Amino acid sequence: MNCVDNSGNRLTTARLLWVADYGLGSCFPIVPIVSELRTRGDEIVMLAGPEGEGGEETFRKLGFEFRPNRTVPASFRLEPESYLDLTHKRAADVLDLLRAESFDAVV
Q: What is the pLDDT of residues 18-31, one digit of tens each?
A: 888 656 667 778 88
List CB contacts of 55: < 8 A, sequence separation 6 or more: 24, 25, 27, 48
Whole-prediction pTM:
0.72
Q: For residue 84, give Cα distances in angstroms to 12, 62, 81, 87, 89.
A: 37, 31, 7, 5, 9
Mean pLDDT, the chain, rounded, equals 76
Least confident of 7-11, 43-47, 86-90: 7-11
pLDDT given for residue 22 in this prediction: 59
What is the C-alpha separation between 39 and 104, in angstroms, rounded? 17
pLDDT band at 12 (very low <50, low <70, confident <90, very high): low
